[in-house]
Amino acid sequence: MDPDYQNPLTQQWNIGYAWQFNSYSVLEVDYTHILGLHESKTLNINPTRRMFLDAAGNAIITRPLSAAFAAAGQPVLGRIDLEVSSGRSRYDGMNISYRRRLHQSVTVNATYTFARALAYNGNSAAFRNRAWNPFNYFDATELGPTPNDSRQRFSMGGVVNLPGGFQVAPIMQWESARPYTAGYGGAVDTLGVGGGRGTSHIVVFNSSPGDLNATLNAFGDPAVAANAVKYRNCLRSGQCSNGVFDDLRGQPFFQLDARVTKNFKIKEQATLQAIFQVFDLTNRANFGNNFVTDVRQSNFATPSAFITPSGVTIPHSLSAEIGVKFIF
3-state secondary structure of 230: helix
Alpha-carbon span 222 to 200, nearest angstrom: 12
Give residues with Cβ within 8 angstroms of 57, minimum separation 6: none
Identify the band that residue 315 occupies on the pLDDT scale cut at 50, 70 and 90: low
Q: Per-residue pLDDT tens for 227-236?
A: 999 999 999 9
Tell me what pLDDT residue 49 has.
94
Per-residue pLDDT band for 177 (boundaries 50, 70, 90) equals very high
Residue 314 clears pLDDT 80, i.e. is over it: no
The verdict on residue 3 lying in a domain is no
pLDDT at position 185 over 50: yes
Stretch 49-66: mean pLDDT: 93
| Beta strand extents in 104-237 (DSSP E only) | 106-120, 143-145, 152-161, 166-175, 179-180, 203-205
Residue 311: pLDDT over 50:
no
Handedness of CA 199, 286, 153, 25 (dihedral sign): negative
**Does a structural domain hold residue 155?**
yes
Q: Does residue 322 fall inside a structural domain? A: yes
pLDDT of residue 301: 95
Average pLDDT over residues 95-105: 91
Contact 218, 246 (CB under 8 A): no
313 has a pLDDT exceeding 60: no
**Averaged over 42-49, what is the pLDDT?**
92
Residue-level pLDDT at 269 = 81
Structure confidence by residue, pLDDT tens digits, 127-175: 678 888 899 888 899 999 998 899 999 999 999 999 888 999 999 999 9
How much is the pLDDT for 100?
93
pLDDT for res 308: 67
Looking from the CA of 58 toward its CB, the CA atoms found within 13 Å total 4
Whether 73 is covered by a domain: the verdict is no
Whether 214 is covered by a domain: the verdict is no
Q: What is the mean pLDDT of the chain?
A: 91
Which structural domain, as residue segments, surrounds residue 136?
9-45+80-202+243-327
Task: Let me know if residue 74 belongs to a domain.
Answer: no
CATH code, 197: 2.40.170.20
Count of domains in the chain? 1
Please give the pLDDT value at position 264: 87
The predicted structure's pLDDT at residue 262: 92
Distance CA 126, CA 146 (A): 12
- The confidence band for 32, taking pLDDT boundaries of 50, 70 and 90, is very high
Q: CB within 8 A of 253, min separation 6: which ones? A: 150, 173, 174, 175, 177, 178, 286, 288, 307, 309
Domain presence at residue 276 = yes
Q: How long, in residues, is the chain? A: 328
Sign of CA dihedral 182, 185, 191, 196: positive
Residue 179 lies in a domain: yes
